[in-house]
Structure 1
Amino acid sequence: MTSGTLPGTLPGTTPPAPPKIRIRDLHKAFGDKKVLDGVSLDVAQGTSFVIIGGSGSGKSVLLRCILGLMTPDAGSIEIDGEDVLSAPAHRRDALRSEVGMLFQNAALFDSLPVWENVTFGLLARNKLSRKNAHTHAGSILAQVGLDPSVGDLYPSELSGGMQKRVGLARAIAAQPDILFFDEPTTGLDPIMGAVIDGLIVDCVKKLGSTAIAITHDMASAQRIGDEAAMLYQGKLIWQGAAGSLMHSGNPYVDQFTHGRREGPIAMELRR
């Protein structure tokens, strides 16, 4: 092997880039309850990755661990090859500033007008002056199909679908490298859910971001996902193309995606 060449890399070639997000052997428990039990996952740059699973399967806990809102008991989380968990505080903050998040119920601040909700993160990090924030918010709102004049309204004056769009606008306002979506179509009718999914796909492609979404909505999962995985009892039990979710060949995945009462999951619930 040529000196300085990584194992498995031919001399004169560039080693492959690390995944945008790499998770290895992640564990998290609350008392005796194991929520994450050795989760390992790679998400490539520019990929839209969907995680499905039932209530209590560990989806939200996994997302919170990646976001830094929760500390895992063991394992590693890397962004661009850098271990977030062992990085100094200033580096963790810098890495997390490159993340945008669409929360399940939009999680808008009721006391702030829409324009201030959209630019909240930028204002908090002094990345944007209040003088320019209103104009910037208007341009971001236009990207999610809302008139800039909506920026002067308050969240209570918006429909559920409009609130979700504002939440998406806030998530993309800083043009983040990574986007997270927590049940993006919850509470929406099927047509508005499809509209939000379309906006998510457009925004992710325009930004070139890497995205992770957790959802129970199988139609949504297939619309926004390139790849998908299923969490069950704290473990990743299946991973593949999002387009194959409905015909995975895995009995657990098939039961979940088709909503069948009978199957391995139901059998365990009866014990």
Structure 2
Amino acid sequence: MTPPAAPGAVPKIRIRGLHKSFGDKRVLDGIDLDILPGTSTVIIGGSGSGKSVLLRCILGLVEPDAGTIEIDGVDVLSMNRRQAEATREQIGMLFQNAALFDSLPVWENVAFGLLAQRGTRRIGRAQARALASEVLTQVGLDPSVGDLRPAELSGGMQKRVGLARAIASRPQILFFDEPTTGLDPIMGAVIDGLIVDCVRVLGSTAIAITHDMASATRIGDEAAMLYKGRLVWQGKAASLLDSGNPMVDQFTHGRREGPIGMELRR
């Protein structure tokens, strides 16, 4: 895990009064959250609690109904298109199922964002391939894997390639969407270790959403829980299994009895 941020540090990401509804379904109901620079924050909560929508709002993929999202003190919701694109270039994302492009070899998947850059930031294919090989090594894969297709890789290897793509541009912010889903416990621990190492080396600010409590305590410095679109608890990730909050305790220990009840789907 990353060292604690200095006291009084300005949040890398500052969210205030965030609301989002889809029709009559309220998904985010007034979220206030600070993510300090250089820290890793895990967000937990049941399906439909608003975790993924929160990430999509920060990424600019979903427009909230109300509230503010600031990155480095600038409200991303009021940025023009060029400013928003520049901000998104600071963000790397590891998707839940790696989301690799089947038609491209691994090295092009890793270098996809680098090859898509414009202007003075654009690089040639030879340089992009060399950078891809370097990043593949960083996540524990031999550079020769770059010549393979995603379909030739195991699930764990695909996750590593997804992580390599996320860090290839050395982003200031990293998002992880259920990074250990579909992996066995050992490979999950390997991926978590790689995430921790990559975040530390880059000095990035990280946010992960997960249902995996072992993963949450391994990669997180801070933690927050969403329930019905509201932030019901914040604290140290190390305290997730012993938080003293009835909702968090029920969720993290998988208890049927408690304040969180099963809702009927309509």
Aligned structure 1 segments of 4 or more residues deviating by more than 3 angstroms: none
Query: Which structure has the greater CA radius of gyration?
Result: 1
Distance 2:101 2:123 in 1: 19
Q: Which residue of 1 aligns with 2:84?
A: 92
Q: Which residue of 2 aligns with 1:189?
A: 184
Q: 1:217 pairs with 212, 215, 218, which one?
A: 212
Q: Which residue of 1 aligns with 2:203?
A: 208
Question: Which residues in structure 2 correspond to 1:36-51 (within 5 Å)?
Answer: 36-51=28-43
The question of 1:112 aligning with 2:101 is answered no
Q: Which residue of 2 aligns with 1:33?
A: 25
Q: Which residue of 1 aligns with 2:168?
A: 173
Q: In the alignment, residue 51 of structure 1 is paired with which amino acid?
A: I
Q: In the alignment, residue 138 of structure 2 is paired with which amino acid?
A: Q
What SS is found at the alignment partner of 2:170? coil
2:112–2:165 contact (8 Å) kept in structure 1: yes
The question of 1:157 aligning with 2:165 is answered no
2:9–2:37 contact (8 Å) kept in structure 1: no
* More divergent stretch after superposition (131-140 vs 51-60): 131-140
Q: In the alignment, residue 244 of structure 1 is paired with which amino acid?
A: S
Q: 2:72 pairs with 80, 85, 94, which one?
A: 80
Q: Tell me how large the CA RMSD over aligned residues is.
A: 1.4
Distance 1:128 1:122 in 2: 7
Alpha-carbon deviations, 1:182-233, whole Å to 9, x = none?
Answer: 0000000000000000000000000000000000000000000000000000
Q: How many residues are aligned here?
A: 256
Q: Which residue of 1 aligns with 2:3?
A: none
Question: Which residues in structure 2 correspond to 1:226-237 (within 5 Å)?
Answer: 226-237=221-232
Cα distance, 1:131 vs structure 2: 2.0
Distance 1:87 1:68 in 2: 11
The question of 1:199 aligning with 2:194 is answered yes
Q: In the alignment, residue 10 of structure 2 is paired with which amino acid?
A: P
Distance 1:181 1:237 in 2: 21
Distance 1:135 1:16 in 2: 40
Determine what percentage of the aligned residue pairs are the same residue: 76
Q: Which residue of 2 aligns with 1:252?
A: 247
Alpha-carbon deviations, 1:34-91, whole Å to 9, x = none?
Answer: 0000001000000100000000000000000000111000000000000000011111
The question of 1:20 aligning with 2:5 is answered no
Alpha-carbon deviations, 1:113-159, whole Å to 9, x = none?
Answer: 00000000010114321121111110000000000000000000000
Q: Which residue of 2 aligns with 1:8?
A: none
What SS is found at the alignment partner of 1:264? coil
What SS is found at the alignment partner of 1:211? strand
2:9–2:36 contact (8 Å) kept in structure 1: no
Distance 1:95 1:80 in 2: 10
Cα distance, 1:17 vs structure 2: 4.6
What SS is found at the alignment partner of 1:49? strand
What SS is found at the alignment partner of 2:180? coil
Distance 1:53 1:119 in 2: 33
What SS is found at the alignment partner of 1:222? helix
Relative to the length of structure 1, the TM-score reads 0.92
Q: In the alignment, residue 101 of structure 2 is paired with which amino acid?
A: F
Q: 2:44 pairs with 52, 69, 72, which one?
A: 52
Distance 1:269 1:20 in 2: 35
Q: Which residue of 2 aligns with 1:61?
A: 53
Relative to the length of structure 2, the TM-score reads 0.94
Distance 1:120 1:269 in 2: 41
